[in-house]
Amino acid sequence: MTDQLSAYQRKRHELAELVGEGGRTAEGLHHWEISRALHREAGDIRNRSFNVVVVGEFSSGKSTLLNALLGEAILPAKMAPCTKSILEIQYAETPTLHVYRSGVELPEVRPLAYLKEVGVIQAQEVDDARREIAESKIDRLVVRVPNSPCDVGVDLLDTPGLNEASERTTITTQRLPRADASVLVLRATDLLSKSERDFIEDEAKKDPVNRRWLDNAFVVVTFADVAAQDDEAELDALKDRLDEFLDGVLQPMGIAPGRRYFVDARSALKLRTGASATTDGMEFGCFEEHLRTFLAEHRGRIEFQGKKLTAIAAIERATDSLKADLERQAREGKALQEAAQKARATVEQERKRMDRVAADLTGKAPRLARDIVNDFRANAGHWVNTDLVAYMATQRYPDALVARTKPASEWYVAKATSWLEATIQTWSSQKPPEYLREMMDDFARANQGDLEALRANLQTSAHELGLTQFDQGDVADESPLDWLTRGAAGWLAGGPLGAAVGGLLGWKGILTNLGVNLAIASVAAIAGVVIPVVGAILVAAVVAIAQIAIGQDSAKDRIRDRVVEGLQKGLPRELEKATRGIETSAVGIVEGVAQELCKAAEAVLAVISEAATNAEETSRASQAQRELRAAQLRAGVRSLEAVAAAVTQLEA
């Protein structure tokens, strides 16, 4: 049995080695998942064993037959049904018994002596064994030995007796459809007992899947030497009787009952161990040879072809994965270069767009200045000629003070100056912001398309280069100007606009409310231009009233009136100076805003330009690595293709 099975096992190991070679190739290329899959497939091929299930009644001679196959008395004769499951015989270099108990994950390892006392278990010992098994709740027993045929990938499975409890018979029938081969053991001295006939008939009536084990069955009749001792004709009659029964039951179901052997298992075992025997084992040698041929050439060929197909499919998947990796390497290198080139073109395009937008904003400065100046002109006369007169009428130099011309004039000038400064400050905080807001709203509407395009194009370039700071952000309706400012906050933080409003609102929403924020910054600029002009007018008034002689209380009123009169006369002369200053300040504010917007845009453009440069440098620096990786992948593909070709050529 060993030669053909050994040859098959060598082929199977050769197939496993080829698949493992593919796994090592994938591992060397860091394709860990593919490597694990191929190594797992190689392990399945290498560790796959044939399952030969032995079925028969208790005391049918199963243990002796198994011992004869093993060439050694491993299992005790008349062994008690020691477990509700199947007794498995597998390969191991050191003989051991593995006992699996209910509720215990790991097996208990014992010497084989636990399973047998040398020779045959006596009746009392059988009862003791049964009692121990019942008490310890043994679920499974696995005998591991270095004997043939286990050493060439054959597992022998001894099932519970057919005349045992129905629960144990069910265990047997559930295991049979998965067997590579089955051995149905019958006893010649009680051939075809009722339980045996019922079992065969019931199995033959099952669906094709569950009865297919009968196609792979070997019917072995033990104790044939006993039946033949008295009369050879008796043995022939038993053979005819068996053939008639099997033909009658199996042939109608399309099952060919062609394998049946009458054996003397005890003599076969003795001959294997070198002892003298009464017979040559009769048909045992033929049974063993046929079982070997069936496993190696029939089941083995089917199994091997299936494993070949599975292995080839796994190797082809690995090859496809390497090819995809190779293509991805090429795409990534090309995409990085293209993204950098595209980003540079986008930067230049958007820089021109931003210059155009900023120029449009700067062009609105004269209109802003005109609106503010006109409003100032309209209000200035009313302030001095009406509001200031009314205010000063309520002011009277205190009697407690010494009524000298200079102190009185200075007192009235201070009152008038304080009132005018407060009035101008109020106007500056209200009117210029309104005009700024209107101008910025008009600017945003007129340039909405350009600003949206600028944001969209820059976001696309940033995304392609792997930048995340210019994504949409938390606010879904964030304006393009808000987005631009948020992305360039570092630049604006150092500018005059940032210094004026950054501490008030932070960077979020700066440009959304640009009119209001710039107005806050412009208060000092507008008022700072106008108030010195007012001061110049008041100085002229003070010089004029310095000539007045003071002699009575009414003189204080004349001083007050003269201060007002001086302001009224001086206002027209100084108004042009004030308006020119307002115009200059307004234009400067708008130009500053335009500069800040350009800075914000340039900050974003600079980040994208730098990312493009880095991408180009990275692409160039990694080119050698990509080429090396590509060469490795191509070599890996060739190696896997060679493995697939070698697997295809293997024959069982």
Query: pLDDT tens digit string along 375-404?
Result: 887 887 787 778 877 887 888 777 655 555
Which whole-number Å values give the CA distances from 40 to 16, 310, 429, 518, 650, in the listed order? 10, 12, 79, 70, 20
Question: Cα separation of 652 and 650, whole Å?
Answer: 7
Give 177's DSSP letter.
Answer: G
Q: In terms of DSSP H, where are the helices of 364-404?
A: 365-382, 389-393
Convert the pLDDT of each residue in 198-211 to its tens digit: 888 888 888 888 88
Q: What is the mean pLDDT of residues 271-284?
A: 87
Q: What is the mean pLDDT of residues 401-430?
A: 73
| Together in a domain, 403 and 262 | no
Q: What is the mean pLDDT of residues 180-197?
A: 90
- Angle value at C-alpha 546, between 550 and 567, nearest 5 degrees: 110
| Together in a domain, 510 and 379 | yes
Question: Is residue 548 situated within a structural domain?
Answer: yes
Strands across the sheet containing 181-187: 108-110, 96-101, 138-145, 87-91, 154-158, 50-56, 181-187, 217-222, 260-262
Question: Cα separation of 408 and 549, whole Å?
Answer: 12
User: Given pLDDT bands bounded at 50, 70 and 90, which one contains residue 532?
Assistant: low
Tokens for 324, please give them: 């995809």
User: Given pLDDT bands bounded at 50, 70 and 90, which one contains residue 521?
Assistant: very low
Q: What is the mean pLDDT of residues 221-227?
A: 88
Question: Cα separation of 272 and 173, whole Å?
Answer: 31
Question: Is residue 35 situated within a structural domain?
Answer: no
Burial of 478 (0-12, 13-18, 19+ CB in 10 A): middle
Question: How many structural domains are present in the chain?
Answer: 2
Question: How many CB atoms within 10 Å of residue 21?
Answer: 18
| Together in a domain, 387 and 263 | no
Q: Indicate the average pLDDT of the chain.
A: 75
Please state the length of the chain.
Answer: 652
| Together in a domain, 259 and 377 | no
Whether the pLDDT of residue 313 is over 50: the answer is: yes
Cβ neighbors of 419 (< 8 A, separation 6 or more) are 388, 391, 392
Whether the pLDDT of residue 587 is over 80: the answer is: no
Between 186-200, 240-254, 534-548, the lowest mean confidence (pLDDT) is in 534-548
Whether the pLDDT of residue 20 is over 80: the answer is: yes
- Per-residue pLDDT at 525: 55
Whether the pLDDT of residue 505 is over 50: the answer is: no
Question: Cα separation of 175 and 253, whole Å?
Answer: 21
- Per-residue pLDDT at 486: 57
Whether the pLDDT of residue 489 is over 60: the answer is: no
Question: Cα separation of 446 and 442, whole Å?
Answer: 6
Question: Cα separation of 22 and 17, whole Å?
Answer: 9
Question: Is residue 353 situated within a structural domain?
Answer: no
User: Given pLDDT bands bounded at 50, 70 and 90, which one contains residue 281?
Assistant: confident
Question: Cα separation of 149 and 2, whole Å?
Answer: 6
Who has greater pLDDT, 383 or 196? 196
Contact 577, 532 (CB under 8 A): no
Who has greater pLDDT, 629 or 318? 318
Question: Is residue 83 situated within a structural domain?
Answer: yes
Question: Cα separation of 520 and 497, whole Å?
Answer: 10
pTM for this model (two decimals)? 0.56
Convert the pLDDT of each residue in 341-360 to its tens digit: 887 788 888 888 888 888 88
| Together in a domain, 76 and 223 | yes
User: Given pLDDT bands bounded at 50, 70 and 90, which one contains residue 496?
Assistant: very low
Contact 180, 157 (CB under 8 A): no
Q: What is the mean pLDDT of residues 464-488?
A: 61
Domain endpoint, select from 261, 282, 303:
282
Question: Is residue 105 situated within a structural domain?
Answer: yes
Who has greater pLDDT, 248 or 575? 248
Share of residues in the chain with pLDDT > 70 (%): 73
Q: At 148, which CATH number?
A: 3.40.50.300
User: Given pLDDT bands bounded at 50, 70 and 90, which one contains residue 478?
Assistant: low
User: Given pLDDT bands bounded at 50, 70 and 90, which one contains residue 426?
Assistant: confident
Whether the pLDDT of residue 364 is over 50: the answer is: yes
Q: What are phi and psi of 141, to 5 degrees?
A: -125, 130
Question: How many CB atoms within 10 Å of residue 461?
Answer: 26
User: Given pLDDT bands bounded at 50, 70 and 90, which one contains residue 12?
Assistant: confident
Contact 479, 512 (CB under 8 A): yes
Question: How many CB atoms within 10 Å of residue 565?
Answer: 15
Strands 154-158 and 181-187: unpaired
Q: Residue 133: name the closest of 79, 94, 169 by CA.
A: 79
Between 49-53, 116-120, 407-411, the lowest mean confidence (pLDDT) is in 116-120
Question: Cα separation of 49 and 71, whole Å?
Answer: 19
Which whole-number Å values give the CA distances from 238 to 100, 229, 242, 260, 608, in the listed order? 41, 13, 6, 12, 95
Question: Cα separation of 455 and 608, whole Å?
Answer: 12
Cβ neighbors of 214 (< 8 A, separation 6 or more) are 182, 203, 204, 250, 253, 255, 257
Q: Residue 65: name the closest of 157, 174, 144 by CA.
A: 157
Question: Is residue 511 situated within a structural domain?
Answer: yes
- Per-residue pLDDT at 125: 46
- Angle value at C-alpha 632, between 626 and 638, nearest 5 degrees: 135
Whether the pLDDT of residue 153 is over 60: the answer is: yes
Contact 310, 41 (CB under 8 A): yes
| Together in a domain, 247 and 369 | no
Residue 53: beta bridge partners? 157, 182
Q: What is the mean pLDDT of residues 49-65?
A: 89
| Together in a domain, 78 and 211 | yes
Who has greater pLDDT, 504 or 79? 79
Tokens 């009277």, residue located: 396
| Together in a domain, 543 and 419 | yes
Contact 128, 82 (CB under 8 A): no
Question: Is residue 292 situated within a structural domain?
Answer: no
Question: Cα separation of 536 and 543, whole Å?
Answer: 11
Who has greater pLDDT, 595 or 469? 595
- Per-residue pLDDT at 218: 93
Question: Is residue 266 situated within a structural domain?
Answer: yes
> Residue 149: is the preceding peptide bond cis (ω within 30°)?
yes
Which of 151-165, 267-281, 469-483, 633-647 shows the highest mean pLDDT? 267-281
Whether the pLDDT of residue 583 is over 70: the answer is: yes
Question: Cα separation of 391 and 385, whole Å?
Answer: 11
| Together in a domain, 536 and 440 | yes
Who has greater pLDDT, 405 or 490? 405
Domain endpoint, select from 267, 282, 297:
282
- Per-residue pLDDT at 261: 92
Convert the pLDDT of each residue in 534-571 to its tens digit: 555 555 555 544 444 444 445 566 666 776 776 666 66
Contact 223, 92 (CB under 8 A): no
Q: Which domain holds residue 449?
A: 364-617
Question: Cα separation of 481 and 382, whole Å?
Answer: 39
User: Given pLDDT bands bounded at 50, 70 and 90, which one contains residue 621?
Assistant: low
Domain endpoint, select from 221, 254, 282:
282
Residue 317 identity (one-letter amino acid): R
User: Given pLDDT bands bounded at 50, 70 and 90, which one contains residue 118?
Assistant: very low
Who has greater pLDDT, 478 or 20? 20
Question: Cα separation of 387 and 379, whole Å?
Answer: 10
Helix (H) / strand (E) element for 549: namely none
User: Given pLDDT bands bounded at 50, 70 and 90, which one contains residue 231?
Assistant: confident
Convert the pLDDT of each residue in 633-649 to its tens digit: 778 778 877 878 877 88
